[in-house]
Structure 1
Amino acid sequence: MNHSAKDPHMSAPPGYILGVDLGTSHTVAVIRWPDGRSRPLLVDGAPVMPSAVFVDEAGHTHVGRDAQRLAQIDPSRFEPNPKHRIGEGSILLGDRDVPAVALLAAVLRNVAAKAVESVGQLPPAVLTYPAKWGATRRNILQDAAAQAGFPPVKMVPEPVAAAHYFAEVMRQPIPVGASVAVFDFGGGTLDIAVVRHESENEFVVLADGGLDDLGGLDVDEVLLNHLGQTIDAHAPQIWKQLTNPQSPTERRNRRLFWDDVRGAKEMLSRTTVAPVPVPSVDTALHLTRDELERLASPLLERAIEETRRVIAASGQEPDALAGLFLVGGASRMPLVARLLHTRLGIAPTVLEQPELPVAEGSLAAVGGMRSDSTGEQPSAVTPPPGIAPVVTPPSEAAAPVTGPPSPVSGPPESAYPVSGAATPQYSTGTGQVSSPPDPGYPVSGAPTPQYPIGSGQVSGPPYQSSPPQEFASVASVSGPPRSPHATADGTGRYASVSSGRSDSFGRDDSDEDASWYRKRSNWIGAAVILVVLVLGIGWLVYDPYPQRDMTPLAQVGEDVPFPENASILGPGTIGDRAFFAADDGTNLTVTAIDMATGSALWETDPMERTRASWDIFHSAFEMVLIGELGTDDIALTILDWETGEQTGELTIGGTDSVDIIGELLVVSSPDDDKVTAYDATGEQQWTLSIADMEWIGAAVPWDYFVADLGAFDDADSIFFYAKDSEGTVSVIDLDRGEVSATKKVLTETSQMTAFDGKLYVTDGADGYTVTVYDMANELADLGTVRAASTGVVPRELGVCGETRVCVFEDRTVDSDTMTGFSVIDTGGENPEVAWSSPEDESLGWAEPVGDRLAVNYADDTDTTFTQLYDEDFEKIGSAEEGRFNRIDSGSMLRFPWSGDTELSAGPVAFVGLGADDGSVYQLGSQEVIPQCAATATYLTCPVETGYRTWKFRE
């Protein structure tokens, strides 16, 4: 049990030293340079390399991201977690039995090659291992290092390395004789140890333990099974293929789905909602942090009990420990630290990049921070992770580089773009950035995957609608989300004015022979009547929601370059301006594009990153908002949309949400039960307390849903409201910072949405009613309608038209579960059911396009289609493949927004759709980075050479 870091042969050699932490899911290496500074070793531009191995048909091994890419072709030849299988002897990959030691050697060989590229030689190396490993497994790891070409390596227990990092790199005091607990939650296992500071530069493991059957992969599995319940209900054939693949394509899809589930879990450490694409389906499911924590809690309770057991085995009491140190990628889940703190009474220390401390701590363990021949301690101590990575010198370099490395930046893995169309449901990171509802989202679930929002949920009226998802029922946020799901207006396409016929029109009834127009009185009367008639006829033919033709994409201006190797966040739009942010790994640059000319209007000076990541980027009204995520807070920077000048800055809590409403930045703090408004300079305007507040919402008017994208700016017409844990809704006066109305209207099964000054609430879980409340009149009851009897469960509400909402339903029909919706019309004296979709059709999302309705559904092959309906719910034209976004009151556009930072694999087809008659406009194809935004006239996307703008209307 006494694993000590002190080895009589462990002296710090001069020159370079390499520390390697070969983990279950990822491998991290750190090089210490001769001057004492340490740098992560970059592999494929990132400091964290997947520990994955792929063996091709010729027997060649590929590791890291290359292995992951090749696995998409033949998953049977892929092993994502070789360390987890170290005790199996050999592993069947394709048609080959490969020794486990050879897989580990392949990973280490790649690390060795990258180290040689960086410093011109393979430095002496230190390898870490789990404290509970016996001699057999340690010997396998040493054999793997030898096969990889390493000279004899030093071995350090992982918790000892972590303790050295904690004490010497982070400068956290651990008095001699005191102990710390190390909670290492990796991909495949949980390792726990209590480490005592025995003497100077010597730590001893007093007790160790853990769970071999608990790691991040196990959390992935419960999430996958949870999502599978919804896939099985809606697309059982797809789920069968994912769980029991029979072909290479199906096996590849299974691997991709696992990867996407894991990616969503990791994203939820920064955000509160994350998309999960489903293979063979043109849409995605959603996971929320609430779901993750509910599903992961039983697993983590086991981890807490094991931690308590190991601490007790060390003879320590939790409150006597000098600290609790969290390492390993899975420890990034906020629930981990929260449960440990709650159950054990110790405030854990967790870093922004918990994968790195073990590797760097191993270097400290073999000789403090010394690396020069004199053994003197350098004056500079390596900061916590976030440091600049190692540069890769030219391949012909034959000697070690003598100076410190220059930083090399690759696309940061944590850069999740934020669209200007972001809506409040996009919980983002530890904070939320919200906006008034977007017309394309289902309301009671988190919205579509198209707009991942970084770590805070940004707001302001979304200027770009996003395609919704077929599987909206998967998402369950805490309280109904704030973005209405849209459908169509049913008030009638044309308003008619009847004009009476005048007696003096045509023939004069007097006895005079003079023509009627010669009499002044008759002339005046006829003129008046003619005007009325013209106006009446004009009104009869006036279309308030016109369909406008589109033309093939025509590039506007030249591409606007962005920094090399940068991750693009955005775009957002205000009017005909688009705003992009580019993160090169160290600095962020924001650029404003004039879409009318395609040129840059302004560009900010590079803003240095001082925290974990740039995770908020949003534009609305007259603000461009940037948010930088820290450990437990978010730093916001406010830019003027016209000049790019910084107007203010503000620090908010890590779980706060932000709404941009006109000239106000409204910060909601559920943890503190407060809502606070700031102006564009960051100066507080008012603060308001709402007991047990769970979430905040914004209700935009109908004008928003018919305005051209980027054109809505009527902040005064937006209602703001909050919900508490008891089901009470409070309407907030944003001008005065006061509650103008409050009423308990929700039950445990209620769904709700609000728009145009009305609040819509369902009651009942199996069969339901809809009640409407007046937000401008103390939430007065405007009437109730019974929408459905038994066998129907409401799952979300959304905007359908000027006086209509859709209630999206799960329906039981002949023992099958179908999806559909009912349209509730509130335009008359009492609410009434205007239409229910056919029971034999499973329909997905719907959004209004003027007084038309665009409805999405999937066919038997899970291909997504969009079908238009008129105001009387009759089909318009034929269904068109794909998801289309509303761009004005009469037209839609199909364009990509996935958040990917790489160029599309091939040309992407852009297609327009007219809502009046279903006309289809083929606009052309382009290779783009799929982070596009559109207005009613322009389209903008990043391409390989910069930001590019096209025009598709005259």
Structure 2
Amino acid sequence: MPADYLLSVDLGTSHTVAVVVWPDGRTRPLLFDGSPVMPSAVFLDPAGTLHTGRDAERLALTAPERFEPNPKQRISDRTILLGDRELPVTAAFAAILSRVARTAIEAVGHLPNAVLTCPAAWSEQRRAALHDAAAQAGYRPVKIITEPVAAAHYYTSRLSHQVGAGQPLAVFDFGGGTLDIAVLERCPDGSFGVLADGGLPDLGGLDFDAALVAHIGATVKQREPEIWKRLENPNGASELRNRRELWEEVRAAKEMLSRSSVAPVTVPDMAQSLHLTRGELDQISRPLLARAIAETQRVLGLTGRRPEQLAGLFLVGGSSRMPMVSKMLHEGLGIAPTVLEQPELPVSEGAALALTSSAPVTPPAPMPSPPPQLTAPSLGLPPVTGSDQTVQLRRGDDRTPPSPPRRGTEYKARRIPPKWIAIGVTAIVLVAAITLGAWWFLNPYKQRPFAEELREVGSAEALDGEVDDGIYEVRSVGDRSAMFYTTSSSDASGQELHVRAVDNRSGELLWDGEQVLPGAGWNNAYFVSEELIAFSQEVEAGGEYRFVFLDWETGEVRNTVTSAARDAARSGDLLVVGPLGGSGFEVYDAAGEQVSSWSFESDVTVAQWSLVGTPDDIAHPTELANGDGRLWAVTSNNVSHVYDLESGEAVASKEIETVDDVYYAWNGFLYVAVDKETGYDLNVYDVEDLSQVQNIEIEVDGTIAPEAITVCGETLVCVGDLVPEQTDAYQWHVYDADKEKIVHDFDDREYGWIEPLGNRILAEYFAGDDIRTQIYNQNFKTVNNNLEETFDPIDGGSALTWPGRSTFGTAVGNVSGLGRDGSVVDLRIDLEVLACDASETRLACLTPAGSQIYSFRDE
């Protein structure tokens, strides 16, 4: 194997850079996904495969608890918890170094000898972890050089700056997450020694991004408060993507301002772009950079040297390219810094250059074995092969091959031949813009823990009057619950409807409306959101309905609308009423004011209608409902229509199927199940123009017709056909819109209803006369549970069961929490209630003692 190539790797906190030195002295940075800078991030998938770089960042959006963006910061912890598995930090390092090794082999045909870098303050124990990780990744024994020493050699060798013996040089390493500062002294033999070092572990480029986002947010909030509300606190995948796009826009604008005086910022959902100026960036940066200047002065002061005695001030790290950094350092120290166009590269190349000089390095360590207690799971990495030998990457005790790759995201494990053939690199342009902490808190499918027991919040608030056997309902949303119940009346109407609002945090009454409207005809149709409280009453049998809108703050009637339609649906804070006279719709806001209306031809009636669902409803099923702001309808002339609720304008109208078929709209597609002589077709249409995008033939007994379509995942819909001679037992077929095919059949049992639990499936099935519940993961494998209760999802990672509403008075039952991992927590035995509803943290109930709020987890 040739010995005259050299691989130099700077495994940084936020990014990794690697350079190959060729035999003739030329240097070439390795490219990862088309860039010389690779995120130092890892993601452990359920199969035990560690993904790195931008692949890891992309997968983090699916399961952030399995993601670590900065393994280097976890070096003192020794282990990292990724999902449900504890992994040695060295295994994360090894995965990154293995990725570098594969790319180096692609470039030069074998894995060269290597030098790695580390912070100046790292102890021998931490440096030993790097040695261990390199050995796990198949490297021969490596040498280690500290990062400021590597930068100093680049400064003198590549940039040809003169630093005489005894002269100090300051290195200002400003990365994405941290700031490291070192002052070095040139020794007589040409090497460098560190005189003092320091830094700020909580100051980096991400802090500037956050400050700029807040600055942009102030403008967006003033102009478009609803847009900023969604960007600041995103719910669901689409809003999370919008937030990420905003951060990427801000970061790109920050980088553009390094070259120009103004940069546009496109804010998702806003019609016009905003702009950032160099002046705004400078003003925002000053208080942050003031800390950096003070720390630089402190570290320099530790050496007893004055700024004017420095031979130079060298800026490295990606955040150093901001012009304000050089300007304020110049102002604060009185010397002009040196900064390059690509300040991420000098440390890696400088480490290679140091080996040609007399720089002190950490000697190679013997190839160690990992401690038994830190055995890593399967890394899913290929062996690294040289021209005369193969070094198998260690994978702990688990020798099972990695799972098949997911489309477009996984590296497929395979043996690398002795003569490597370049296969190309797929460029991935997605760059994650938020840290692990932000991902964790915004992750729509995380599993939050339940308390050990159900706890009363406040005291029960007695009901006004004796509840009759007509109406008692609860609707809980966020911090408040609305409760509805009827009592007997002494007048001819026979009933009085009472509505009260309760604070979920304290259990106290916000208001009690007493009898809102007298009379019968209340029909259990209650619509509640953060802004809306509405309900309906049949005024004239079969003829006229009254929709009542209340004020959330006072309980007073805001408006009453009379309609010929009895059906209604809620989309956010809008109430859709229809079909009017069988052929039209009206849309009202929370105040009961009409927003839009439309109707079809006089001889056309509506046969089916509903709202276009959105994945946001999966993440927060108790709070968000329902739809993306559009309605679909099928009229008696077999024409399908899509309407925008706020404008009342037609999005699309087209004859596609018949009114007898089964329709469902989800995540931008309209699904129609069409009965045939043998089996049936599932046709998929784009709701934007009702153009057909897919036809799927589902083969079943010709006597079985499709009966239901429902959502069972972000990109999944489930199509159900009834089991013969049953009225509520189905066999379900799962269609994946991304893969454009049926990916699973639930036909091994008689299933009841099926619904998503985050990115898993919660399915009911019949065991004799009993209904049981089973969770299935994304590969449709059963999770470790088989439960007798039925559960309702309350967020993206958990579900709850509570006593069901009874039409014969109170119901008695248990309250239990269910995690997406199948774990069950019994919270209360034999709770007696009239009716309940859950938010993500509270269970609001009407009980014989009155209205009562219960807590099952911390907010």
State the TM-score, normalizing by the size of structure 1.
Answer: 0.43
Q: Normalising by the residue count of structure 2, what TM-score does the alignment of the two structures yield?
A: 0.48
